[in-house]
Structure 1
């Protein structure tokens, strides 16, 4: 098993050496936004969350490499942030070597505003970027280790990035859809894992699971580099050379999810950059606006996006820990490159979330990667997550460190201006 994992990892690492963004034959891989498979115009009334609407075979691939791993895309019914029935797609990948059924719901950090970065598209060889390639390697490792891997397009068909509850619903319904599609019982052991953008469906998934999908047998979850409260992240990345591009991207996502009237507060500069990022993915926009500030985005009388009541209200609706309590066990991790965080995520926010969960009786293991920036913490997080989840599937007791986790930051909602 270890040898198979090593071979697949090496093959995918070689495929990654080209770097950059590559596209495959458009005729063979139409974008999800124009692919009829993704469209569903039937009624969702009476359909249970996770109901499979259609499926399509796929091969796990990059734009330049096919693998022996095959799977299926499944279109399924899920729920959006406001509680309405919607659809999205998950990629279901079976292990090469059959064994006891165990499922990993792996959440890619695709951080997308355009469909070319949907996991169901990139995993099929439609396009890629360095972030996707790194995560595709990790997914191959789980498959080689005997796991069935479910990878949901958790941002939904409207590409609503960082929106919490609906990301969690999409992850949980992706598991339900996979179990139904494969004929697996709901007692099948399942774990959730994701880093950065992928931490959103992971953390929100386990937070809403006790009420939304209590039948699922979730044995553990691992989330790293979490955006716990974007009201804290916003001033941290304002003016950044590496991450300022996320500011207009988040405006796009929140406008889509909440119908915010951005014309009422965006400056001419804000409108320009919002339009420029509106169909891109994080690898294309994060570093493209060095020095862009929060204040640059708005016009008088506003001096910050946090002066806009509709923006603050939407951000408050997505503070992690505010909706429910996971059953655990959880592994939460974050880097710390400077006094605040890992250059984009706020370390004491993640610590505060871990402390809050511990106070509610959740079995939490919290790790801080001292000296590591956000991208640098990805590798140790994935390694520790694999070990943590392996132990959960084996039924071993978790090694909680709740007794040594600090209080962290206050995660109370930001007062409305």
Structure 2
């Protein structure tokens, strides 16, 4: 079968369990945590300018392009008094081209009383949707859609840590988020950590110890950041990475999602990979329902995506009823197949310890976890990732919680914050392989 190809380009403004809607609604009723007045006002960009991509991205990775003070973070429930800044910063995509991304730096007002500099946690949010309206920084600042990890941020702030929370790449005006694309995610995380000390007034030291944390899509992004840290951002003093609910093998996850309740995540993944791989056939294999599905996916956030695509199968959106395996076999203009693009994002392949010569050398402990009832990420995927890290000699701690994909995130908060605290305190962790 010969398929004509037209390059896929990002389109403008183009999760959670439905039962969680009550949880989200309950969070919205809690008063906002308000940032202090009278702190440095050097960051004075208009909010619109934070999300406006430059005509030509030239900023070096981690450089601040624009920033602004944020008056309050309504989503951070139960946290201490804080100061917060939105920041547009330089990063690179998976092909080494310079891009801009957006994130939020949050620092407790209370002075750090521990040893050394105040630690920094690079936080990676879970699935939020692929359109710019879903950006974590927008939701943190009060543009509610359905983000659910404010308690994670609050727990870090209550421990005294600064937080550098990336939106990830592709959340600026007119862009599409490259959902589940590993290099883009890892670079965005590490460059957000770099940018935190460069935002005027944060007090974050470039010598601060750095922890990394994320769950679900954030679990993938945090683990990619761990794999890339040594080669991409060697100056960062990363002491540990916590990653939960990790979609580490996209083929296995796709098979698990196709035709199931959370099929919307699969739709997002194909749209995201089409953004990072415009040479692959995408637009030309879609039928009218497929084009509408793409438009809908880019206009919805996490809860809306789940509600729009329950039980959907990928073949119902293609002209020839193509299955996953048939799509994987399709070849792009450069010879790359969809299968190649998917395999390139598999976590755990090529990992090793410093000096091993592995592609991804990791010199700090890793904490992996999941919910035992996770209906999104297959158990074999989580187990294989843990096994790959253990076999490579990377200090790996593993914990399973009695919860599903959504509740597994919340159940781990205390353990993750304590685990990061031990890393910041200089305690060794040899893992439990």
TM-score normalized with structure 1 length = 0.81
Hey, what's the Cα distance between the residues in 2 that align with 1:384 and 1:13?
A: 23
Partners of 1:110 and 1:118 within 8 A in 2? no
Unaligned ranges ≥5, structure 2: 1-22, 31-44, 332-336, 350-358
C-alpha distance in 2 between matches for 1:313 and 1:357: 22
The equivalent residue for 2:60 is 48
Deviations 1:118-155 (A, max 9, x none): 111111112242xx2x3112212211221111111113
The answer for the alignment partner of 1:154 in structure 2 is 168
**Partner Cα separation in structure 2 for residue 128 and residue 197 of structure 1:** 17
> 1:101–1:147: 8 Å Cα contact kept in structure 2?
yes
Q: Provide, for residues 261-299 of structure 1, a one-character-per-residue CA deviation record: whole Å limited to 9, x for no partner.
A: 313323443333222212222221123222211332334
How far apart are 1:67 and its partner, in Å? 8.4
- Structure 2 partner of 1:381: 412
In structure 1, distance between residues paired with 2:76 and 2:393: 48
Matched, 1:60 2:72: yes
Alpha-carbon distance, 1:169 to partner = 0.5
- Distance verdict in 2 for CA 1:142–1:60, change over 3 Å: farther
> What residue is the counterpart of 1:16 in the other structure?
27
What is the CA distance between 1:79 and its match in structure 2?
0.5
How far apart are residue 334 of structure 1 and its match? 1.5
Deviation at 1:164, TM superposition (A): 0.7
Conserved in 1, the CA contact under 8 Å of 2:314 and 2:322? Answer: no
Whether 2:87 is the aligned partner of 1:74: answer: yes
CA distance in 1, matches of 2:272, 2:266: 10
1:116 aligned residue (117, 121, 133): 133
Task: Note closer, same or farther for the CA distance 1:190–1:298 as it changes in structure 2 (3 Å cut).
Answer: same
Residue 173 (structure 1) shift: 0.6
Aligned to 1:6: none
Alignment of 1:211-360 (within 5 A): 211-241=231-261, 243-259=262-278, 260-300=280-320, 302-304=322-324, 305-309=327-331, 310-322=337-349, 324-337=360-373, 342-360=374-392
| More contact order relative to length (CA 8 Å, sep ≥ 6) | 2
Structure 1 residues 367 and 64 mapped into 2: Cα distance closer, same or farther (>3 Å)?
closer
SS, match of residue 406 in structure 2: coil
- Decide whether aligned partners of structure 1 residues 104 and 249 sit closer, same or farther in structure 2, where only a CA change above 3 A counts: same
Does the 8 Å CA contact 2:365/2:430 hold for their aligned counterparts?
Answer: no
Structure 1 residue runs without a partner (length 5+): 1-11, 20-31, 403-417
Between the two proteins, the alignment pairs up a number of residues equal to 368
2:76–2:151 contact (8 Å) kept in structure 1: no
TM-score using structure 2 length: 0.78
The CA deviation at 1:87 is: 0.5
| 1:1-49 deviation digits (Å, cap 9, x = unpaired) | xxxxxxxxxxx99961559xxxxxxxxxxxx9x922322436554x431
Query: In structure 2, do the counterparts of structure 1 residues 244 and 40 end up closer, same or farther at CA, with 3 Å as the change threshold?
Result: closer
